[in-house]
Structure 1
Amino acid sequence: FSFSTEHNGWGSYVADVSSYANFNFKAYQRKFDVMNRGFSGYNTDWALPILRQLLPTAEQQTNSQNRIRLITIFFGANDAALPFAYQHVPITRYMDNLSEMIDMIQNANSKYHNPDCKILLITQPPVNEVQWRKRCDENGEKMNRTAEVAKSYAEAAKQIASQYNVPVVDLWSELMLASEKSDLSDFLLDGLHLNTKGNGVGIGQGFIEGNQCKFPGARSSNDYYEAP
């Protein structure tokens, strides 16, 4: 459940078996159904009503053999647009929205409560201002993202993860660390959207490590193959 499926984003990365083969996503084939529900350009304000439509109610879960085992929540890059941009969501409301998403699943009083569902939060990536300014200039748009604001939204996501005791893939830090040996442009297609390498270093590896360590019960080795 994420902010974008464009430009080799997380959604398209999960859907591309050849891209994530090196990070062992294939281990989940025929064991789990991976549902890609990324929405291009969305922020948390727009995503909340969509999530209410996607999540099964507690009653529906009782009447179904299929249960959600793990959900990843990946928002921030659009929320962190500068205030004049139409995608902007103030950071306090961004945090409230993330909290509501988690509460919908974790809170026992929620109609969508799912005690078996694990949650993995993913921070937004860093912004390469040089690349993104070029992209904005080419489109005749005003520069609408900054590295400093991106960092603050990534930190905000980590605060929410800590508050709810939810594991987090710190994508911002992962890519900043990786870029010390090269440059952010090696991992970002246009200064904002991840390329294949960025997905692999930032999310692919982080997802596998986070999932195996934090949710040992969800390891692919612990589950049987499912018939088509």
Structure 2
Amino acid sequence: MDHPYNQILLFGDSITQFSFDPELVGFGASLANAYQRKVDVVNRGFSGYNTEWGLPILRQLLPTVEKQKQTPAKILLATIFLGANDSALPFALQHVPLDKFKENLNTMISMFKSPESPSYNPDVRLVLITPPPLNEVQWKKRCDDQGGPLNRTWEYSRDYAQAVRDVAQERGVILADLWTKLMDVGMDNLHEYLLDGLHLNANGNKLTYELLIQTIQHHFPDIHPDNLEMELPGFRDLPRENFEESLQFPLLKQ
């Protein structure tokens, strides 16, 4: 099928994967709703994955420079939302050391932004999202229920969130600081935004959606949903006769 819509790529772990869950009012689903008939929001979240496992996946997802020339549909914006699993404690399978985590994020950014990259895309808007703070009370209960030790801490989530901030600043990439946004509600209130101490509940997803929309409005207003036209006209605007030309997708006419 020819692709008549540009895309927003959501790349990350389970928090991104679950962002299309209607019961959780997923932030990805909310974005897809806001951009309906304008831009396709593509969920590429992989539950349990860290940046080490994410690297070979992202290499496969991004179109090469040659493929970008062959299709008019583009990735307008991409989010990288990783670190919740990398920040697991060192004994855990998912743990990635802090320096390696930063290196992996830099490599991902270079896939988009480096002229030497096979998938170089200088026009894409890139957003790094900090992992959420861990609510240890909730997460310990989950670990206890599963019969395992506490494998994450608030302090580790703090350090990995700071690493995302550092990489964003060093590389000149836009940051959506979810960690700080959630900490602003107070440690004692984190349970109101986190399902199990790590993953977002409905309130957390609504907050994340609002953060991303505000980030787009502030940094990339040209692709805010309010500033984009629908790819095809509303049915009331169609001519009564000879309407075929009006029903041609603009991207497919290029």
Counterpart position of 2:219: 214
The structure where strand makes up a greater share of residues is 2
Q: Does 1:136 align with 2:171?
A: no
Distance in structure 1 (CA, Å) of the matches to 2:209 and 2:16: 9
Deviations 1:145-200 (A, max 9, x none): 000011000000000000111111111110010236x6111111111111110121
Counterpart position of 1:75: 82
Report the CA distance shift for 1:189/1:44 in structure 2 as closer, same or farther (over 3 A). same
Counterpart position of 2:200: 194
Distance in structure 2 (CA, Å) of the matches to 1:193 and 1:18: 10
Tell me the TM-score normalised to structure 2 length.
0.82
Report the CA distance shift for 1:16/1:212 in structure 2 as closer, same or farther (over 3 A). farther
Q: CA deviation at 1:90?
A: 0.2
Whichever residue aligns with residue 175 of structure 1, its letter is L
Conserved in 2, the CA contact under 8 Å of 1:121 and 1:168? yes
1:30 counterpart SS class: coil
Distance in structure 1 (CA, Å) of the matches to 2:71 and 2:98: 37
Counterpart position of 1:2: 12
Where does structure 1 lack aligned partners over 5 or more consecutive residues?
A: none
Q: How many residues align?
A: 222
Counterpart position of 2:8: none
2:33 counterpart SS class: helix
Distance in structure 1 (CA, Å) of the matches to 2:112 and 2:126: 9
Q: CA deviation at 1:222?
A: 2.9
Distance in structure 1 (CA, Å) of the matches to 2:23 and 2:191: 24
Conserved in 1, the CA contact under 8 Å of 2:80 and 2:128? yes
2:78 counterpart SS class: strand
Conserved in 1, the CA contact under 8 Å of 2:16 and 2:46? no
Higher relative contact order (CA 8 A, sep 6+): 1
Conserved in 2, the CA contact under 8 Å of 1:75 and 1:124? yes
Conserved in 1, the CA contact under 8 Å of 2:32 and 2:40? no
Tell me the TM-score normalised to structure 1 length.
0.91
1:119 counterpart SS class: strand
Counterpart position of 1:117: 124
| Structure with greater Cα Rg | 2
2:12 counterpart SS class: coil
Distance in structure 2 (CA, Å) of the matches to 1:87 and 1:17: 27
Q: CA deviation at 1:208?
A: 0.4
Deviations 1:194-227 (A, max 9, x none): 11101212x1111000011111121223322124
Q: CA deviation at 1:13?
A: 2.5
Instruction: Give 1:225's match in structure 2, choosing from 211, 230, 250.
Output: 230
Instruction: Give 1:33's match in structure 2, choosing from 40, 60, 63.
Output: 40
Q: CA deviation at 1:17?
A: 9.9
1:168 counterpart SS class: strand
Instruction: Give 2:163's match in structure 1, choosing from 145, 156, 164.
Output: 156
Distance in structure 1 (CA, Å) of the matches to 2:16 and 2:94: 19
Conserved in 2, the CA contact under 8 Å of 1:17 and 1:25? no
Q: CA deviation at 1:109?
A: 1.3
Conserved in 2, the CA contact under 8 Å of 1:15 and 1:36? no
Whichever residue aligns with residue 140 of structure 1, its letter is G
Counterpart position of 2:95: 88
Distance in structure 1 (CA, Å) of the matches to 2:173 and 2:36: 25
TM-align CA RMSD: 2.1
Distance in structure 2 (CA, Å) of the matches to 1:31 and 1:116: 18
Where does structure 2 lack aligned partners over 5 or more consecutive residues?
A: 1-10, 233-248, 250-254
Distance in structure 2 (CA, Å) of the matches to 1:45 and 1:27: 32
Whichever residue aligns with residue 53 of structure 1, its letter is Q
Counterpart position of 1:204: 209
After the TM superposition, list the runs of 4 or more consecutive aligned residues in structure 1 that deviate by more than 4 angstroms.
Answer: none
Instruction: State the percentage of identical aligned residues.
Output: 47
